[in-house]
Structure 1
Amino acid sequence: MSGIAVTLKKHRGLSIGLLAWLVGIVFFLPIAWMALTSFHSEADAATNPPSFAASLTLDGYRQFFGAGGGASPWPALINSAVASVFSTVCVLLLALPAAYALSIRRVKKWTDVLFFFLSTKMLPVVAGLLPIYLFAKNTGMLDNIWYLVILYTSMNLPIAVWMMQSFLAEVPVAVIEAAQIDGARLPTILARVVAPIALPGIAATGLICFIFSWNELLFARVLTGVVAETAPVFLTGFITSQGLFLAKVCAASLVVSLPVLAAGFAAQDKLVQGLSLGAVK
């Protein structure tokens, strides 16, 4: 019976592995198809059924980067990078002490505080669009990239505190108490004791906040114009009344997605470690 059980366990593990590969391939296929289409001409990209053996060209990328006299994407890409990076840094700087107060040195009714943070994400984004727009208009902050930094920071802070609270709960209290005995104050404890131990969780939180900020479209579309236009807003400009230029859109989408893919690939080890913190007690 034990041999049969081992065989069944191996077959079950093999089936789960094959299913995982199948799911991964299904999710990867649209990205691969977008990448392949970006190297086709517009005529080949518009064929139905699609032609896999069509000749490859870089015309879509040349047009995206303004070779045909179009607008340059670099200002929009730089704006997205500034808004995403600065807002993520601000979120981490604010979320770390907040999570410390909710996990290690817990304040009274800390569960209610966590629920309040989570409840702020239940409000539909479009419900807050009008007051945010009116505030920006009355304060002269329309088409200002730093207003997006503040906005993205406030949008991502609740989920960052919620995530980092669970990560910091895994930090040994004895290590913090030893640092306090040695005379370390709170900023030193957060920077030199808590942060290095919870680095995988901090990296995972930072990556998720960066992705959320980079992909945000609604507020950037309404609150920006020419000066503070972000990459997703720039990307929507390729859908015109003249039609959808598929190869050019795929090339633009791939370029805009590269920073997120590169950040995820660079931090994949920390991301896996961070997301697995607290899973095993």
Structure 2
Amino acid sequence: MSAATPAPSTTPERVGGPQPMEPSEIRHRKPARSGSLLSLLAWVIGFLFALPVLWMILTSFHSETDAATNPPSVFAPLSLEGYKSFFAAGPWPSLLNSLTASVVSTALVLLLAFPAAYALSIRPVKKWTDVLFFFLSTKMLPIVAGILPLYLFAQKVHLLDNIWWLILLYTSMNLPIAIWMLRSFLAEVPVEMLEAAQVDGASLTRTLRDVIAPVVMPGIASAALICFIFSWNELLLARVLTGTVAGTAPVFLTGFVTSQGLFLAKVCAASLIVSLPVLAAGFAAQDKLVQGLSMGAVR
């Protein structure tokens, strides 16, 4: 009796050579490839944004002759001529004025915006939407449209070339932005935390300071940094309303553009030094800034 032969297999055996990928493997590989392309695109865009800053840094270390060449001389000898000219011009009073106006106005903005945002989010006042849009409407008027009344008023009350007048204007300029930002963060605070604080007998001031403020600290940090940057970079008000006493760093930078021409290396060196406080503040608060902006944007 002959042995029974095994029945042929209906599934072909894979012998040697590259094995075909399963559909699930193809689906997993496509997102990885698209993610790599997006990462490469993000690096290219980031480099394009950083290229002017890198070029400014390189130009600041060139002499005026090399900085003015056309086409630009990338491998020109390095020089500290621009930085020497900047410090020889006496920038310290202007830098101190900018620091004073930015820090004091930012502190005032936070002191006023925090309780206002609390009243518009956690304990909303009547017609709170109208209040928010009123704050937003104050940003619709260009500063150049109101510069003449501000100048005439300052001249009448003897506030021209006064740093405290700039502080008041910077506070009113940044207050609507801070209120809108902080309100979006305070709206995310759990109501249970406030109820627990009320049960414990905490006052409103203590609730704001010890309960709410630590929770929304990323939002406070991001609002403070943005207000500081806006105040530090502001030029029009400082240019028109100040002179030799209360002039800020942006006004000092315009002094390098003279009738003899534009001193490119000096301007680049001065711009880099004036930008350092803002860069330092952004680097110190970058984690809270990213966390704060993302938390305020995602609901």
TM-score normalized with structure 2 length: 0.91
Task: Give distance in 1, aligned partners of 2:26 and 2:71.
Answer: 48
Q: Does structure 1 residue 185 correspond to structure 2 residue 203?
A: yes
Q: What CA distance in whole angstroms lies between the structure 1 residues aligned with 2:298 and 2:85?
A: 50
Distance in 1 (CA, whole Å) between partners of 2:210 and 2:87 is 44
Worse-matched range after superposition: 155-164 or 52-61? 52-61
Question: Could you tell me which of 9, 25, 29 is aligned with 1:3?
Answer: 25
State how far apart, in whole Å, the 2-side matches of 1:167 and 1:128 are: 31
SS in 1 for 2:78: coil
Pick the aligned partner of 1:125 from 118, 128, 143.
143
Match of 1:64 in 2: 86
**What amino acid sits opposite 1:119 in the alignment?**
S
Mapped to 2, the partners of 1:236 and 1:211 lie a distance apart of 18
Distance 2:201 2:165 in 1: 40
Q: CA deviation at 1:14?
A: 0.9
Write the letter of the residue equivalent to 1:114: L
- One-letter amino acid matched to 1:59: E
Distance between the aligned counterparts of 1:41 and 1:280, measured in 2?
48
Aligned-residue offset at 1:279: 3.6
Q: Deviations over 1:74-96 (max 9, x none)?
A: 00000000000000000001000
Any stretches of 5+ residues in structure 2 without a counterpart?
1-22
Give the structure with higher Rg (CA). Answer: 2
Task: Measure, in 1, the Cα distance between the counterparts of 2:139 and 2:296.
Answer: 23
User: Is 1:167 the counterpart of 2:185 in the alignment?
Assistant: yes
In structure 2, how many angstroms separate the alpha carbons of the residues matched to 1:244 and 1:191? 50
How far is the alpha carbon of 1:108 from its aligned partner? 1.4
Q: Is the Cα–Cα contact under 8 Å of residues 161 and 244 in structure 2 kept in the other structure?
A: yes
Alignment-derived partner of residue 275 in structure 2: 257
CA distance in 2, matches of 1:188, 1:140: 40
**What displacement does 1:180 show?**
1.4
Counterpart in the other structure of 2:174: 156
Once residues 205 and 273 of structure 2 are traced to their aligned partners in structure 1, the CA distance between those partners, rounded to angstroms, is 39
User: Which piece of structure 1 moves more, 79-88 or 10-19?
Assistant: 10-19
The one of 232, 237, 253 aligned to 1:235:
253
Q: Percent identity?
A: 71
Residue-by-residue CA offset, 1:121-180 (whole Å, 9 max, x unaligned): 111111111111111111110000011000000000001100100011111111111111
> In the alignment, what sits opposite 1:27?
49
Q: CA deviation at 1:60?
A: 0.6
Return the alpha-carbon distance in structure 2 between the equivalents of residues 116 and 39 of structure 1: 48
Question: Where has structure 1 moved over 6 Å in runs of 4 or more?
Answer: none
Question: Where does the alignment leave 5 or more consecutive residues of structure 1 unmatched?
Answer: none
Is residue 2:75 matched to residue 1:53? Answer: yes
How far apart, in 1, do the equivalents of 2:92 and 2:183 lie?
37
The whole-number CA distance in structure 2 between the counterparts of 1:278 and 1:231 is 32
Select 1:134's aligned residue among 139, 145, 152. 152
Note the C-alpha offset of 1:119.
Answer: 1.1
- Give the equivalent residue in structure 1 for 2:119: 101
